[in-house]
Amino acid sequence: MTELTGTAAGLKLAGQLMRQLGTLCVAGYHHSGPRELDVELRYRGVTLVNGFTPQRHRQLAALREGLRLMSERRLTLEPPLTHEVALDDLDTGVGQLLERPAGFVKCVVRPSRST
């Protein structure tokens, strides 16, 4: 399972949903305060993978695997993408990220439409 929300509640829920001996990849951007994982994960034999690592070869391997899964349609990012803005309207997207309006999970920036 991959946790992408970047929220304390999302991280907690991901931990609760983990099966025994499963793997949890924490890839959400968690920089708005402390985040906690239940120590029970260790007792259930869950492998915890940090999605952010300074080891470049690990990041590249993870990106390759993610792209492979996406190309096979086994992984899709659509469900967590709840908002979309054009590059010309980036300020709106940043505002949504900071304000977290109802229903907000992730915002994607699309290329600006030519006028």
What average pLDDT does this structure show over 36-45? 85
For tokens 């001996």, what's the residue?
Answer: 21
What are the domain boundaries of the chain? 2-71, 81-110
Check: CB of residue 5 under 8 Å from CB of residue 105: yes
Check: CB of residue 41 under 8 Å from CB of residue 18: yes
DSSP notation for 24-51 = EEE-S---SS-----THHHHTTPEEEES
- How confident is the model at residue 53, as a pLDDT? 67
Rg (CA), the chain: 16
Q: Is the pLDDT of residue 114 over 70?
A: no
What average pLDDT does this structure show over 70-79? 76
